[in-house]
Chains A and B, each alone.
Chain A
C-alpha cells in the first residue's frame, strides 16, 4: 500500500501532500520535514530507495523518490509494493502531469493543486494503484474537464438544459487506440536510467 505521496521542492517547501493512512496534522508535517531531510542529503548517484524514518512507521516502510529539476517526488510505501514498480509509477505520474499541463513546472503544481490531486486520484485510489496507463488517465481527466466546462458554461441556462447535459454520459472511448507517442519529450525530466 502507498502510505503517502509527497512533493516538495529543493528547499523543502511542500507542493503536494497526500496521505492514504491517517496521521495527525503534526505528524504529517513532521513526516514532510523528516522526509525532506533524508532525501535532500542524498547525492545524485545513489539509489532511489530509502528505508523509512521513524515517523512513517519503521522498518517495514520505504521511501521511493525521484528528483526532477526543482522538485522531489516521494512515495512512502510499505513492503507490499515493488520498489521498481513504484519508481516507474512516479515516472508515469510526472509524464501525465506534463501532458495535462503542457510542460509542467513547479508553478503549475502550486496554482493547480486541485488538478494535480485529481490526476493523482485517477492513478492511485485509497493507497492502491488504480491505473498506470498514461493515455487512459489523460482521457479520463479530459472527459471530466469537458463535462465540467460545459456545465459551468451553462450556469445561466434553463434548468432543463442543465439537467440534460448532466445526464449526458461520457463518450465511450475505445481502449485499443494506439496513440503511439509513449516516448514524448519531457522537458525538465531526465531520461530513464
Chain B
C-alpha cells in the first residue's frame, strides 16, 4: 500500500480525536458526527489494510449489510442517515451496488435540513441516472426548493437539475427556472442559465420559446452569467451557425473588452483576464466565421489583438494562443493573420514543454491540408518527434505524416507507422493505426509485393481487434481486381505464395482474421501458383485445422478453402484423410462441412459446376421469399401441419393467453423506435416483441453476408488515383532509389540505437545527415508543386467516417445477435460456393418440415433452428443451381407496361386499336400484341381499375373482307378467375376494323406470376384456331390503399403474418423518400407517412386484402417489414420490391 496512506493512517486516531482533517470551513459537528466519521474511518482503515480484492469484497458486503439494516430502521435519525449516505457513496465509488439506499437518499433530500439535504442531493446525483424511475419522486422536492427563499436551497435545486433531471418533467420546473433568470443574486442567475443549457441539450424543443431570455442572459450585467450563457450559444451555433450571425458583433465586442482588461480584476487568472471566457469566445467566433468572408471581416482586428496580448509565458496564455490559431485557420483566411498564426504554431512545435509540443503537432495536423509548406518548415522537428519517448507525441506525429502521405513517401511513412504499431499495446491505438495503414496501402501502394507484405503486417499485428472491413476490403480488392488482368493475376499469385510461406513456419500464432484471409485467398487462387502442388496446400490447411487455437469460425473458412481446392484436384489423399478425421468431429459445423465435402467429392462434375474458378464476384439472384418452397409448404399444410407463425407472434399469443386483461393502450410509436434503433431491421415498432423469428434471421444473414464476402456496400478504393504504379513511375523514378536506400538506412539506424553514449556524440553529425535524408523522403512531393494527394485526402477522410459508422452498426448487430450471427458467420465463407446436393436439399426439407412442430415452445429446438436456419437460407438462396429452382427462374419475367417491338411492327400495317375514352383516363398499360395470323391480330391492354383488373382484348381484322363468328375464349386457370363468362363472341368483324371485348379478372389464389391462356377461333375460308396467353403479375392486382397513420397503426397491430428483409438500396436512391417513391411508382404502394428514416406504406390486393409495409433505411440498406392478413402476400410483395430496387 501507499506509503503516504500508511503514514497518514498511523496518525488517524489522533486526527479523528482532536480535529477532523479539513474541518476548517464547515467541519463543526456534534458527537454524532464524530462517531459516524470514525465508523467511516474504521471502514477505510480496514479496507486499506486489506491485501486482496476478495477480502475487500467481503468487508464491503458486511458494511453494506449493516448499512441496509440501519437505513431501513425507523429510528434512524436524519443526521445518522446523512452519515450512512456518505458511506454508501464510498461503497458505490468502489463499484458496489447499493440500490437499497437510493430511496433513502431521495427522502433525505426531501426532509433534511440544509446540511442533510445537501448530502441527500449529492447522493441522488451520484446514484441515479436520468432515466431512473425513482427520480420522479425527486421532482416535488426540486419544485419546493426552487420556490424556497433560502438561496442555498435554490442553488442546490438548480445544481441537481443541471445534473440529472427526467426529460418528461421539465415543464414542471421550467417556469420556476425562467423566473430565476431575473433573480437578484448573480450566482442564482448563472446556475439557472446552466440548468437551461442542460434542458436545451436534452430537450431543445421545450426551451424554444425562451431564446429571447438567452439573449438577455448574454447581456447580463454580471460577467459570470454572460459566460454561462456562452455555453448555450456555443451549442446552438454549432448546430446552426447561420442563425446567429447577427450576434457576431456582440461577441467581438465582448472579446475586445475582455482582452482589453475591462473586466474586474478578480476575473484575472495569473494576470490574464478571464482566460476561459476568451477561449469560449474564440471558439464561437471560429464557428461563426467559417466560410463566411463578411463575418470573418468583423473579427480580424480582435483576433490580432488577442494574438498580440497573449505574450506572457504562462500555460493559460498558450491555451488562448492555441485557440486563436485554430480560429484563424477556421475562418475565412486573411494572409497577415495566417502568417502570424503560422509563427505561433512554430512556437508551439519548437517549445521544450511537451504539452505545448503536443498542441503544436495537433495544430499542424489541422492546418497541414491548407498549408503543406508548414510541414516542410518544421520537418526536422517532426522527424525528432518520431523518436520521441512519449507515445502520444509519436502518435500525433504519425497523424501528421498520415495526412501528408502521397505516392512518393508512402513506403517510408507506412514503415514508421508499422514500427509504432508493433510497439504499442494499446488496443485503441492499434485499431486506428491499422485502419490508417490499410487505407494508405490500398491507396498508394507502389507495387504488389509491398502491398501484400504491408497488409500481412497489419493483419498479423492488428489481428482480431481490427475493424472487420479491413480484411473485407482487402479480399474484395483481390477478388474484384482492377482493369489490368495480368496485374490481378500477379497480385493474387504473390498473395498465395506469401501465405504459403507464412504457413510453412511451425508454431507461429496468427490472429483468426488473418487465418481467414489466408484460407480464403488460398481457396480461391491457389491454383494460380502453378508450381505448387495442391497437396502441399491441403496439408498446410489440414495442419491448421488440427491446431487448438483456431476457432470454429476460422475452421469453417478453412474447410471452405479445402473444398474449393479439392474441386480442382482430381484426387487427394489429404482430403480423404481429412474427411475421415472430421466426419466424427464433435463440432457439428465441422461435421456438416465434412459431410458436404465428402458428398461433393463423390460427384466431381457437380462439384466443378458448383465451385467455378474465380467467380466470387458474380452476383447471384436471391429469391429471399423462398417462393419455390410454396408447393412443399402447401403439401405440408395439406397433410395437416400447423401453419408457421413467426416467433414474436407466438410470443404475443402466449402473452395474451397469460394475461387476461390487456391494460396497455397499443399505440403505434414509430418515433420511439427511431430513437432506439439499436439493431437493424429486427425491431418491432410496437416494442412488444423481442424474439428472433426465422425470417428475421434470414434478414440478418443477408446482412452478414454482405459483411463477409460480397462487400457490395463498400466503396472501391483501389481507384484511379490510387494504384497507378505505371503512370506515376515517371515522376517517382528519381525518388525511388533514394527511398529504398533510405529505408535500409533506417533499418541500420534502428539496429544501431543501443550504441553507447560516447559513440553517439561522435556519430552525431552522421545521425543528423540521416535525419536530413529521412526528411527528404518523408516530405517528398509536398509543397507547392505537388498537392494532388492532399486534395485527394479530403474525400478520403469522409469516407473513413462512413466506414466506421457501418462497422459500429455491424458490431452492435453482432452483439445483439450473438447466437444467430456466430452461426451465420460459421457458414459465411461457404456462402458463395456452398454446394447443393440432393442430400442437402433433403436435409433442408427435414428442417423445414420440422419447423412447424418445433415452433411450440421448446427452447432447445428454437436455438437449434436458429442456428440452422441462416445457413439454410443461404444455401437455398443459391438455388439457381438446384433443380428446385425451376419455378423461381420462370418468375423472372414480369410484364412491364412497355411497348413491344412487335407491336410497333403491327402499327405499320394496321391502325393501333385504342381504348375507349372512359378507360383511357384510368391507368393502363400500352396496347400490346398478343398474337396474330394472316387474317387477324389480337391486342391486349390492361386497365388497372380501382376495384379490378380489366383486360381489354382487341380483335383486329386485317383482311379486306369481314370475319365471321370470331370467338375469344379464355381457359380456366387455377389462380385467376374471369368474372362473367369466360368467352366473348363477335358475330362479325368488318374488314379493317377492330372489335373489342373486356373482361374483369380477379386473383383467386395468390401467386407472383401467372398466365391466362386462351384461344381465338374464327371462320374465314376454314375454321382457324389461334392460341394466346396473357402473362399476369401480382402487381396487376395491387392497388394503393389510402389511410392515415393512425389507421395504419391500428391495422398493423391487428395483422399477424409478417415478413422482414433487408435489401440493398441502389446508389441512385440513397434517401428513404427516393426509395419509397420508387416503390410508390412501380408497385403502386401508397405512402402513408415518412418519419425520419422510416416510412410506412400501404396497399391492398384486390378485392380487399390489405398489406402494410414498414421501411427503415440504415447505411445503404433498406429494412422492409410487411404485414398482411394473407400469409403469402408479403412474400410476393417482398419479391417485387427486391426486383424494383435492383432495377432502379
Contact = CB atoms under 8 A, between A and B. Distances in A.
B672 interface: no
A84 B392 contact: no
Contacts of A47: 354-355, 357-358, 390, 392-393
A159 interface: no
Contact of B279 (A32, A85, A87, A101): A85
Nearest to B48: A13
A178 B266 contact: yes
A161 interface: no
B113 A151 contact: yes
A21 to B, nearest CB: 10
A142 B25 contact: yes
B197 interface: yes
B162 A113 contact: no
Interface string B726-766: 00000000000000000000000000000000000000000
A193 B151 CA distance: 39
B126 A18 contact: yes
Contact of A83 (B2, B86, B122, B359): B359
Contacts of B228: 128, 130
A118 B12 contact: no
B4 A70 contact: yes
Contacts of A58: 428
A86 to B, nearest CB: 9
Interface in A7-25: 9-11, 14-18, 20, 22, 25
Contacts of B26: 115, 141, 144-145, 148-149
Contact of B315 (A9, A88, A118, A132): A88
Contacts of A118: 118, 122
B28 A100 contact: no
B190 interface: yes
Contacts of B150: 147, 166-167
A40 interface: no
Interface string A53-83: 1100011000000000110000000001011
A49 B392 contact: yes
Contacts, number: 229
Nearest to A9: B2
B357 A126 contact: no
B571 interface: no
B322 A128 contact: no
Contacts of B316: 84-85, 88
A106 B355 contact: no
A184 interface: no
B114 A147 contact: yes
A70 B355 contact: no
B330 to A, nearest CB: 13
Interface residues of B, number: 89
B159 A121 contact: yes
Nearest to A147: B152
B130 A128 contact: no
A148 B195 CA distance: 24
A69 B4 contact: yes
Contacts of B353: 193
B118 A128 contact: no
A151 B21 contact: no
A85 B319 contact: yes
Contacts of B4: 69-70, 105-106
Contacts of A153: 28
Instruction: Place the interface of chain A in its size category.
Output: 35 or more
Contacts of A54: 427-428
Interface in A82-115: 82-85, 87-89, 92, 100-102, 104-108, 110-115
Contacts of B546: none
Nearest to A169: B151
A88 B114 contact: no
B595 interface: no
Nearest to B223: A175
A177 B267 CA distance: 11
Nearest to A152: B115
- Give the residue among A10, A85, A135, A151 with the most B Cβ atoms within 10 A: A85
B393 A82 contact: no
B231 interface: yes
- Give the residue among B2, B195, B323, B359 with the most A Cβ atoms within 10 A: B2
Contact of B354 (A46, A89, A115, A155): A46
Interface string B1-14: 11011001100100
Contact of B194 (A17, A87, A128, A169): A128
Given A111-B37, A169-B151, A126 B162 contact: yes
A43 B354 CA distance: 12
Contacts of B1: 11
Given A51-B392, A113-B89, A176 B269 contact: no
Given A47-B390, A84-B355, A101 B28 contact: no
A133 B266 contact: yes
Contacts of B41: 111
B152 A148 contact: yes
Contacts of A89: 276
A18 B41 CA distance: 22
B270 interface: yes
A126 B177 CA distance: 16
Interface string B926-939: 00000000000000
Nearest to B393: A47
Contacts of A147: 114, 150, 152
A139 B269 CA distance: 17
Contacts of A131: 224
Contact of A129 (B152, B276, B323, B358): B276
Interface in A143-181: 144-145, 147-149, 151-153, 155, 166-167, 169-170, 175-179
Interface string B95-130: 101000000000000000111001100100010011
A46 B264 contact: no
Contact of A126 (B95, B151, B197, B314): B197
Contact of A43 (B115, B185, B187, B389): B389
A178 B392 contact: no
B44 interface: yes
A155 B812 CA distance: 55
Nearest to A138: B25
A116 B604 CA distance: 77
Nearest to B165: A126
Contacts of A80: 234, 283
A170 to B, nearest CB: 5
Contacts of B231: 128
A128 B20 CA distance: 32
Given A100-B24, A113-B90, A151-B113, A107 B8 contact: yes
B22 A59 contact: no
B266 A141 contact: no
Contacts of A11: 1-2
Interface string B172-188: 00000000000001010
B265 interface: yes
B40 interface: yes
Interface string B214-231: 000000000010001001
Nearest to B12: A107
Contacts of B789: none
Nearest to B87: A113
A49 B266 contact: no
B129 A22 contact: yes
A136 B392 CA distance: 36
Nearest to A134: B269
B191 interface: yes
A123 to B, nearest CB: 11
CB-based closest 8 A-B pairs = A84-B319, A145-B26, A101-B22, A126-B162, A46-B390, A29-B95, A108-B22, A47-B354
Given A11-B2, A46-B390, 10 more contacts: A47-B355, A82-B323, A84-B316, A88-B275, A107-B21, A115-B26, A130-B228, A140-B187, A147-B114, A151-B115
8 contacts: A26-B95, A38-B426, A46-B389, A102-B24, A107-B12, A114-B122, A133-B269, A152-B113
